[in-house]
A and B are shown apart, each in its own frame.
Chain A
Amino acid sequence: MKIITACLDGSTGAKAVCDAGVWAAKKLEAPLQLLHVLEKESLPPSGDLSGTIGFGSRQRLLEQLVLLDAEKSRIGREHGEALLAEARNLAEQSGMTDLTTLQLHGSLVETLTDLEPEIRLAVMGRKGELHGTANHAIGSHLEHAIRTLHCPVLVVMQEFHVPTRFMIAFDASPTSRKALDMVLASPLLLGCECHIVMAGKAAMTHPAYLEAATRDLKEKGFKTTSALLEGTAAEAIGNYAATNQIELMVMGAYGHKPIRRFLVGSTTTRMLAETTIPLLILR
């Protein structure tokens, strides 16, 4: 059975990631895995600029560097263990039983790529450990992870509340049609109120697709509202979410071709940076 993977780090959003993981695991009736990846920052030690290579320089230098790394890694590992234990506690208190914890060395994106065949949904915080409280900062891995992974990714903010009202940003493209199909097929959001919106150029050209999508959603039993928005996608969607108190946003990611993304920028990246509500990114 595929699992829900909650990617924790030492940042303030770790609790939200854990909560969101528990919520998704319960809804999907899937096991929850709490994952912490020990990343190595390859920052050099303070430089010794003396330029001498004395007796056994190489061996001594290697020993020193190994000692330094060993100490850092040990602390990192213990910190990670504590973090996972705490998260486990939290999850158990909310009644999760099917629970595993995993701590690995490597980079987050690589690790997730390796684990991907097992993952049904990955939960990540928006801000990384390094960003402190900077407002619109995206965690260093998030964008890279979303581009690389093919499984659904749930991006949560500093806090997580169980959503009752969600919205789908729909633009009639194959990626967003696929996202819609996944929402229809999954029990994750069943019972929530659904808003489906279309913005930007698609709103002018393909309103019929929106109607069809709305019909599908209604058939599935979602209480659905649909809307056509004016203005650029990211802005219009953001405004709509704010006025209608949307609690979760569903979207397809990186539908544009790389060259356009390079020139115009990506809607997904902007949404990631500006949103204040959790994003469920489906690919």
Chain B
Amino acid sequence: MTERIKNEWFSNIRPDLLSGLVVALALIPEAIAFSIIAGVDPKVGLYAAFSIAIITAFTGGRPAMISAATGAMALLMVTLVREHGLQYLFAATILTGLLQIGAGYFRLGSLMRFVSRSVVTGFVNALAILIFMAQLPELTNVTWPVYAMTAGGLALIYLFPLLPVIGKSLPSPLVAIILLTGISMAAGLDIRTVGDMGQLPDTLPVFLWPEVPLNMETLSIIFPYAIGLATVGLLESMMTATIVDDLTDTGSDKNRECRAQGIANIGAGLIGGMAGCGMIGQSVINVKSGGRGRLSSFSAGFFLLVMVVFFDAWIRQIPMAALVAVMIMVSIGTFSWESLLNLRKHPPSTSIVMLVTVITVVGTHNLAIGVFAGILLASLFFANKVGHFMLVKKELDSSGTTRTYRVIGQIFFASADKFTDSFDFREAVARVVIDLSGAHFWDISAVSALDKAVIKFRREGARVEIIGMNEASTTIVDRFGVHDKPEEVEKILSGH
């Protein structure tokens, strides 16, 4: 026990603290920008980032993963905030947390296996596109200095790391923000700054219960949002956990992570923060900077709060253009560029699933709907593909009186019709043998297809024998089949 704590927290102290600092510095602009996407004061996102990072550091199932206020979640709460206000957002955040804890206890983390690779890619790409689109209002109808600032910021972010030594030891987004803030203050430019976007935190967060009436009406307002938030939050967190698993070549406890996300969101809701989840980009930065233990997530949250509370006068001055540059970097880093190259290489069905996910998300601005569409489509494609793996071979014995059908493959709703069609009912033979030793019956569509075939053959006066059915198929056929139950067959034949 103590050994595990030591291993998870203090096995990697120096790199963990350093990477925590880098992540905290990168988190500040993101948390502010995501608050602006959601339409709330920057302090809501910053408090959320602080509390979620700290709580998941203790409770999470995946050490070194960074969770905080995220774009995916922010995008889902826009209309809630606009139509009902901030207090309902806090209430929805707490409900999201409860739902996620429930998901953790019901082990829904393992449902992630139904989310195919292409849905995940679609999710990530859609997220990147939405984050990018959320920056556009800051870039339309503005003066030229804003464009110059944004372009300069992007150049700094991507070129600064190329400098020897210093380039790799200072976070370049931070360098860009500091320089641009300095320039805009020195030149006295009249452009929008973070201070114009709403209140910044000036104190440590305090406990506050959301001021909403506790009744069914409130629940009916927040519940749909909470469901979406919980789903998207878990989805992105599980994906992030998998990415960190891959990068660090270690395992994680996904269901524990579900519960941790829930606890963190309840915590965030109770101190005036918005809902959040695992962050792909930040977790990659954390691993890249050497973070491996829980201490890295903890120090990210801790440093973030310290900096935000003590430097709020400076943060106020950050021009929005600098934040936009950072967000564009985040969307570029989040987008899976390789998926564009793979569009032609991968089978069309895979690419279609990915594209449908992206299009649905961009159309509805709701990642949850997009993911469901993707999963549904992927399942249909899969059913279709497996349905192809069904083959019926026909053999006539030497005397010409016995016809043997050898069925190989999976019989279920998608292949049942094909199964029925492969029998030749017009052929007049005395005996029909259906050899099912290579076949598997999955559902009642399959069973009724078999029934139909057997009954049709009997009508034509053939004796039908079924051989070689495997045990699992026998169970379902016995339960639902009618061809071996004379009284049922009677009913069908007599037209009832």
Name A's B-contacting residues (CB within 8 A): 40, 42-59, 61-62, 65, 69, 144
Distance in angstroms between the alpha carbons of A50 and B157 in the assembled complex: 9
Shortest C-beta distance, B78 to chain A (Å), equals 24
A56–B249 touching, CB < 8 Å: no
B287–A61 touching, CB < 8 Å: yes
A51–B337 touching, CB < 8 Å: no
Q: Which of B255-309 contact A (CB under 8 A)?
A: 280-281, 284-285, 287-292
Name B's A-contacting residues (CB within 8 A): 3, 11-12, 15, 18-19, 22-23, 25-26, 157-158, 160-161, 167-174, 243, 246-250, 280-281, 284-285, 287-292, 329-330, 332-334, 336-338
Distance in angstroms between the alpha carbons of A127 and B478 in the assembled complex: 66
Distance in angstroms between the alpha carbons of A69 and B250 in the assembled complex: 13
Closest chain B residue to A144 by CB distance? B3
A45–B333 touching, CB < 8 Å: no
B168–A50 touching, CB < 8 Å: yes
Closest chain A residue to B162 by CB distance? A50
Also in contact, A51 and B26, with CB within 8 A (given A44-B12, A45-B290, A61-B247)? yes
Most central of B160, B246, B285, B338 by chain A CB within 10 Å? B285
Distance in angstroms between the alpha carbons of A52 and B284 in the assembled complex: 10
B333–A51 touching, CB < 8 Å: no
List A contacts of B18 (CB < 8 A): 47, 49
A69–B290 touching, CB < 8 Å: no
List A contacts of B292 (CB < 8 A): 42, 44
List A contacts of B12 (CB < 8 A): 43-44
List A contacts of B173 (CB < 8 A): 51-52
Closest chain A residue to B171 by CB distance? A51
B288–A42 touching, CB < 8 Å: no
List A contacts of B290 (CB < 8 A): 44-47
A61–B288 touching, CB < 8 Å: yes
Identify whether the interface residues of A are mostly helix, strand, loop, or mixed.
loop
List A contacts of B281 (CB < 8 A): 53
B247–A48 touching, CB < 8 Å: no
**Contact among B3, B160, B333 with A57 in the assembled complex (CB-CB below 8 Å):** B333
A50–B160 touching, CB < 8 Å: yes
Shortest C-beta distance, A29 to chain B (Å), equals 38
A59–B338 touching, CB < 8 Å: yes
Distance in angstroms between the alpha carbons of A56 and B334 in the assembled complex: 8
Distance in angstroms between the alpha carbons of A62 and B248 in the assembled complex: 9
List B contacts of A42 (CB < 8 A): 11, 248-250, 292
User: Top 6 nearest A-B pairs by Cβ distance?
Assistant: A53-B333, A51-B171, A47-B290, A50-B161, A44-B290, A47-B289
A56–B338 touching, CB < 8 Å: yes
Distance in angstroms between the alpha carbons of A65 and B11 in the assembled complex: 19
Closest chain B residue to A61 by CB distance? B288
Closest chain A residue to B173 by CB distance? A51
Known: A52-B158, A54-B329. 6 other contacts (CB 8 A): A45-B290, A48-B168, A48-B288, A49-B170, A55-B332, A59-B338
List B contacts of A55 (CB < 8 A): 332-333, 337
Shortest C-beta distance, B495 to chain A (Å), equals 63
Distance in angstroms between the alpha carbons of A237 and B403 in the assembled complex: 88
Closest chain A residue to B333 by CB distance? A53
List B contacts of A49 (CB < 8 A): 18-19, 22, 168-171, 289
Distance in angstroms between the alpha carbons of A69 and B248 in the assembled complex: 10
**Contact among A44, A51, A54, A58 with B174 in the assembled complex (CB-CB below 8 Å):** A51
List A contacts of B329 (CB < 8 A): 52-54
List B contacts of A57 (CB < 8 A): 284, 288, 333
B158–A47 touching, CB < 8 Å: no
Distance in angstroms between the alpha carbons of A32 and B480 in the assembled complex: 59
List A contacts of B330 (CB < 8 A): 53
B22–A62 touching, CB < 8 Å: no
Closest chain A residue to B159 by CB distance? A52
Closest chain A residue to B64 by CB distance? A44
**Contact among A40, A46, A50 with B172 in the assembled complex (CB-CB below 8 Å):** A50
Shortest C-beta distance, A113 to chain B (Å), equals 15
Shortest C-beta distance, A106 to chain B (Å), equals 13
B167–A50 touching, CB < 8 Å: yes
Shortest C-beta distance, B316 to chain A (Å), equals 22
Also in contact, A69 and B249, with CB within 8 A (given A42-B292, A52-B173, A61-B288)? yes
Most central of A42, A53, A55, A61 by chain B CB within 10 Å? A53
B168–A58 touching, CB < 8 Å: no
List A contacts of B291 (CB < 8 A): 44
A58–B249 touching, CB < 8 Å: no
List B contacts of A54 (CB < 8 A): 158, 329, 332-333
Distance in angstroms between the alpha carbons of A47 and B286 in the assembled complex: 9
Shortest C-beta distance, B178 to chain A (Å), equals 13
Shortest C-beta distance, B146 to chain A (Å), equals 22
B289–A51 touching, CB < 8 Å: yes
A51–B172 touching, CB < 8 Å: yes
B171–A50 touching, CB < 8 Å: yes
